[in-house]
Structure 1
Amino acid sequence: MCGLCGWLSPSPEGGPRAAPLLAAMLDSLVHRGPDGQGEHLGAHVALGHRRLAVIDLAGGAQPMSSADGQVTLVYNGEIYNFAALRDDLRAQGQAFRTRSDTEVILALYQNGGWQAWRRLRGMFAFVLWDGAQRRAYLVRDACGIKPLFFHHRPDGTLVFASEAKAILAVLPELARIDEQALHVLMNFRYLPGGLSLFRGIEQLSPGAVLEWRPDSGARARQRTLAPDVMPAEDVPMVLRQSVQAHAVADVEVGAYLSGGLDSAALVSILKRQCGIRPQTFTLAVGDDPREAPYAAESARLLGVPNKQAPLILSLEDDLPRLLWHLETPKVNAVQVYALARFAARDVKVVLSGLGGDELFYGYNAHRIFYQLMRLPGALARMAGRSAAPLLARLGSLPWGEPERALRMLGHHGDWPWVYGLLRNVWDSPRLRRDLYGPRMLDASPDGAFDVLREAWPCHRDPLVAMNQFEWRNKLVNDLLWQEDRAAMAWGLEVRVPFVDADLHAAVQHLGRRTLMPGGQLKGYMKNSLRHELPGALFARPKSGFQLHAPRFFNQHLRPLAREYLSERRLTETGLFNPEFVRQVLRRPPRTGLRWHYFILYLMLMTELCVDIFEKHRRPAGHAP
């Protein structure tokens, strides 16, 4: 895993002149590549790279150029089928100078143009400059595992990087939080689509190719991967192939291990199919105290070593550092950050079970949505709309769980709206007034439900539409985002075998009724893995990696809240309403206030981001 950055200029002198800018960008990405740094300066182009060496430790340095020097590449990620692709290219007469997957990307382009990148299987983001054709390509993998940000300047210059902070390092005027993006974040708890927290900085979409030329600027070409679809009985085989591919490395490969099925399945395949007995890592965290003992028992049954650690953080120091890496508030990133720090002491690469719930319908939200679909529509709407006014007489804080449940019933049949309510989207004029200060209210951001409806997939099965939306948005811009940033903070590469284009295509071909028979979460997956895993693992209830928000906030975040959520502070920044903070904090913390405390947590992290980015107060001692 690595970090890349660069500057594409309409002027031939723009590349060499960008040398000091490139140095500043690379300095901001040291954590992504502690093993080396490289630069390429030429007409129109300045390319920079920070390297974390995992494959071809001696020969894979970047930027890498073709033998004739005309084509140059900077690349972040891993290509899991690079050895097979290299063999094919060699058979066609292509010569190779290294054992790296980087050179395979170059060779594919030279032999088949950018369309040849459809053959890549892996997680990647890269930028290729073709000096002969005077064009550059920005590319991101189809699942959106690796990040790539860019900014268009009015003169046609394109600035890009693995993280937005590298762009901010040379264009500090962009370091102002975008009120529209913040409003969406406060509703979704992540930034869907191509948003970043900063106005003018965008993300490249998963599976997209952005072509840039000095004389015509940039235009996006959407690339779609179309792997061969496997019949139902072959999905376990595709999963095994994915794990085997993700295990390729010239360094030791470990694994995260929870008490659930996803990580246990990966560890079992690693051991039985790949001959790897991985060191496994578990963080004792979350609402369910059984999670860590379950993980220890899984390790014993699977015959692998397991290291466990409690969640120990000094949040007054660690939270600002984490937010510097994340570049956006994330309510569950603290746990991911702590687990990555723990694993990075022993290994450079770990496999994670992330994506299994999205792939095989494993969330409780899937079950609730399924149950709502089965209710008689007219009866559900009548019940929801008639009971809702009663809540106003109880004097409770707005947007508690009873209110959300009744609103879901009242909107039955309007599935994007129901999904939004289920996932805590709250946008309304009343709640905007309750939560926001004058800066946000004056910005008058577009409605969060409108953003959701615009991105909602067209599918006659609402649960499939929900699943597709989460795969394209929540998985990419919440879970994968925080996994990448938290791991890169410690120089750790996290690989996600469930988030694989071939596997996703094979699973989607089965259909929701096969994957979730009778509403059973992960029904198909459990049946497919019964020969792979010990039976005791299937009897466990599902538990999460989430924290008890009211308890966590009051035990760990009160000192930061006293400073960053004070009336003086909130009045100064103008983003949030101090009265909402007072109302929540003067009530006893309890589970029924979970949404309210998550909002406080997002407010606190946003105020920290104001200091870090708008006021340019980089936290001291950032990792590694």
Structure 2
Amino acid sequence: MCGIVGLIDLESQRPVDRELLEQMNQTQIHRGPDGEGVYLAPGLGLAHRRLAIIDLAGSAQPMSTPDGRVTVTYNGEIYNFKELRRELKAQGYLFRTQGDTEVILYAWLAWGEACVKRLRGIFAFGLWDEAQKVLFLARDPLGVKPLYYAPFADGWLGFASELKALKKHPKLDRRLDLEAVEEYLAFGYVPDPKTIYRGAFKLPPGHTLTVRPGQPLGEPVCYWDVRFAPTVRDAREAAQGLIAHLKQAVKMQLVADVPVGAFLSGGVDSSAVVAMMAGLMDRPVEACSIAFGDPAFNETEYAKEVAGRYGARLCVYQVDPDDFSLLERLSGLYDEPYADSSALPTYRVCELARQQVKVVLSGDGGDENFAGYRRYRWHLYEERLRAWLPLSLRRPLFGLLGRLYPKLDFAPRFLRAKSTLESLARDSVEGYFHSVAVLGDGLRAKLYSASFKKALAGYRAVSVFYRHLEKAPPHPLSRVQYLDFKTYLPGDILTKVDRASMAHSLEVRVPILDPGLVEWVAGLAPELKLRGGEGKYVFKKALEPYLPERVLYRPKMGFAVPLASWFRGPLRDRVRAALLGERMLDTGWFNPAFLRTLVEQHQLGLRDFSAPIWALLMLEAFLRQN
């Protein structure tokens, strides 16, 4: 992986401020400690920080064609670069390097903007065509690699791998976007295309942006989207095809000139990746895992069993249950408010992995692809009842029951029906939004001040879902999977892993999110993914010859952080100082009385508000550092 930066004059061809460009580039040194480069032309500057993975001695960037017509700064890996190289050679293009970067240059010359449809990998790049006077920005189909851009007040446009590089530019409009604040407090992250700043944007996954100096800045163009169109309904056929596609994806992503390892949590997804790797490699897999003190969240025994079965060398990192030393580090790492607390152990496992290897394969994407989240199952249960009772009856009935039913945070799960009742009082999209929200509509309504509500002018974060609904498939399971592909996956999961890994100069690859595999899985009938309450049904069936039954069919776990106990114990005073202090109140966004209620009810053990408190804590840390 690497870090990229660029500046282009949208109005004329003023000289680039090289010192500023280099300062922006240096903010991303963690993404590329192995080398750096700068390219300057009239009205244009491109910069690069390199993490050398392929063609270690060559492929320095920014890279230009021999005639200087095309120049690129690029972050990522093109897994099919050897096949494309052969195809382009047959068309007469001559290559000087052994890497994948040069393939992008000639793919542009051969196929123009359609070149991105030929690239199979994870990438974000900025490409300048001197002959056409065009800057072409592109991001990979699933959004594994990030790309930010910002039109500045002085007529320049900048782009970068991370927001911190754009923040170095003195003309960035750093006023906070209040709609983005609403989205953050609902989702726990700011979904694309927004950022927390009014003047900066994320290029959405599977999109390109063509910039022509002297012309108005256009809108991003979509070149790839996941299409749920079921064609395979036979479980045996699906299982056989699935293993073939997964093996192919893993094989492609093993291409590197440095050692490649794996994350191995002991869950189904990472175990599947390690099983495929073991069958394709001529040396033991270097695997990394996290161990938790709480046995309810400790998957180490399963990771050890899978590692033993495949002769993998497993390195385990024991997480301190009170490891909250990273709080300040995390708030700076993500550049904008980000509230997934599993970023803490993710940071630690990346730190561990980098001591062993430079590249790892992860199991990310399995839940979105194969319907592994518990919320999918509950959504289908709710949809059956929505189909039976019209909204005109459900809204008053379940709305009343939801208001009357007590919030039993500490009761057994089957007694915690309040959220389900509240969801049933809503339509399908609003109900799913309610199930994923960090702070639901009711909490946010109590939290916000009258002036903040007025400033929002009725805007609600659920609008993000409605924006994507037009292209969403009709089946209720596929529809919410699609919404997660457009929001949760790039905004939360992939953002978490990219920043945590690149903080340690570690490249993470995601074979389960190979676009070819994703497209094939989208062609499976929904009942092959979720059947009889069993998520990842066909995935688990396909893996039965490869993994133990107790690994495949045990309850789902995850990276758990003891937030609730932290906020009542060692971080008690810190929470009160942050959430009830002047900085939060001075925003004018919040109702002070409800902030105090939120904190006190949690710390007295009356409610579990750990997720909302964490989100607000990360927001306060951002405001303090901004």
TM-score (norm 2): 0.90
Aligned match of 2:274: 267
Assess if the C-alpha contact under 8 Å between 1:313 and 1:338 holds in 2.
Answer: no
Whole-angstrom CA distance in 2 between matches of 1:66 and 1:130: 10
Residues 1:606 and 2:610 are matched in the alignment: no
Whole-angstrom CA distance in 2 between matches of 1:270 and 1:555: 43
Whole-angstrom CA distance in 2 between matches of 1:380 and 1:546: 38
How far apart are residue 287 of structure 1 and its match? 7.7
Whole-angstrom CA distance in 2 between matches of 1:313 and 1:163: 30
Aligned match of 1:494: 508
Match of 2:544 among 518, 530, 533: 530
Secondary structure in structure 2 of the residue aligned to 1:586: helix
Assess if the C-alpha contact under 8 Å between 1:189 and 1:330 holds in 2.
Answer: yes
1:190-213 Cα offsets, whole Å, 9 max, x none, are 222311111121111111111111
Secondary structure in structure 1 of the residue aligned to 2:364: coil
Residues 1:322 and 2:330 are matched in the alignment: yes
Assess if the C-alpha contact under 8 Å between 1:417 and 1:453 holds in 2.
Answer: no
Q: What are the equivalent positions in structure 2 for 1:66-85 lying under 5 Å apart? A: 66-85=65-84
Relative distance call for 1:361 and 1:394 in structure 2 (3 A) is: closer
Residues 1:222 and 2:216 are matched in the alignment: no
Percent identical pairs in the alignment equals 35
Assess if the C-alpha contact under 8 Å between 1:79 and 1:120 holds in 2.
Answer: yes
| Counterpart AA for 1:605 | M
Whole-angstrom CA distance in 2 between matches of 1:211 and 1:154: 19
1:535-582 Cα offsets, whole Å, 9 max, x none, are 342232211223343124334533532432234343233343343343
Aligned match of 1:236: 243
Aligned match of 2:345: 335
How far apart are residue 165 of structure 1 and its match? 1.1
Aligned match of 1:622: none
Secondary structure in structure 1 of the residue aligned to 2:158: strand
Q: What are the equivalent positions in structure 2 for 1:125-274 lying under 5 Å apart? A: 125-153=124-152, 156-171=155-170, 173-219=172-218, 220-224=220-224, 232=238, 233-274=240-281
Assess if the C-alpha contact under 8 Å between 2:465 and 2:483 holds in 1.
Answer: no
Assess if the C-alpha contact under 8 Å between 2:16 and 2:42 holds in 1.
Answer: no
Whole-angstrom CA distance in 2 between matches of 1:242 and 1:264: 15
| Counterpart AA for 1:35 | D
Assess if the C-alpha contact under 8 Å between 2:472 and 2:482 holds in 1.
Answer: no
Assess if the C-alpha contact under 8 Å between 2:12 and 2:214 holds in 1.
Answer: no
- Which deviates more from structure 2 when the two are superposed, residues 88-97 or residues 584-593? 584-593
Aligned match of 1:295: 303
Match of 2:425 among 387, 397, 410: 410
Cα root mean square deviation, aligned: 2.8
Question: Number of residues paired by the alignment?
Answer: 608
Aligned match of 2:577: 563
1:96-145 Cα offsets, whole Å, 9 max, x none, are 11111000111111222221231110000000001111111000111111
How far apart are residue 585 of structure 1 and its match? 3.2
Assess if the C-alpha contact under 8 Å between 2:16 and 2:43 holds in 1.
Answer: no
Secondary structure in structure 1 of the residue aligned to 2:340: coil
Aligned match of 1:483: 497
| Counterpart AA for 2:354 | A
1:7-32 Cα offsets, whole Å, 9 max, x none, are 01135543x33212201201211111
Secondary structure in structure 1 of the residue aligned to 2:296: coil
Relative distance call for 1:463 and 1:396 in structure 2 (3 A) is: closer
Relative distance call for 1:603 and 1:403 in structure 2 (3 A) is: same
| Counterpart AA for 1:66 | T
1:254-301 Cα offsets, whole Å, 9 max, x none, are 111112111011101111123342211111247824422222222222
Whole-angstrom CA distance in 2 between matches of 1:571 and 1:177: 16
Match of 1:515 among 512, 517, 529: 529
Residues 1:359 and 2:374 are matched in the alignment: no
| Counterpart AA for 1:251 | V
Relative distance call for 1:274 and 1:385 in structure 2 (3 A) is: farther
Whole-angstrom CA distance in 1 between matches of 2:11 and 2:367: 48
How far apart are residue 248 of structure 1 and its match? 0.9
TM-score (norm 1): 0.91
Relative distance call for 1:555 and 1:439 in structure 2 (3 A) is: farther
Whole-angstrom CA distance in 2 between matches of 1:21 and 1:97: 31
Secondary structure in structure 2 of the residue aligned to 1:85: helix
Secondary structure in structure 2 of the residue aligned to 1:329: coil
Assess if the C-alpha contact under 8 Å between 1:516 and 1:523 holds in 2.
Answer: yes
Relative distance call for 1:588 and 1:167 in structure 2 (3 A) is: closer
Whole-angstrom CA distance in 2 between matches of 1:474 and 1:29: 25
Structure 2: gaps (5+ residues): none
Whole-angstrom CA distance in 2 between matches of 1:52 and 1:207: 23
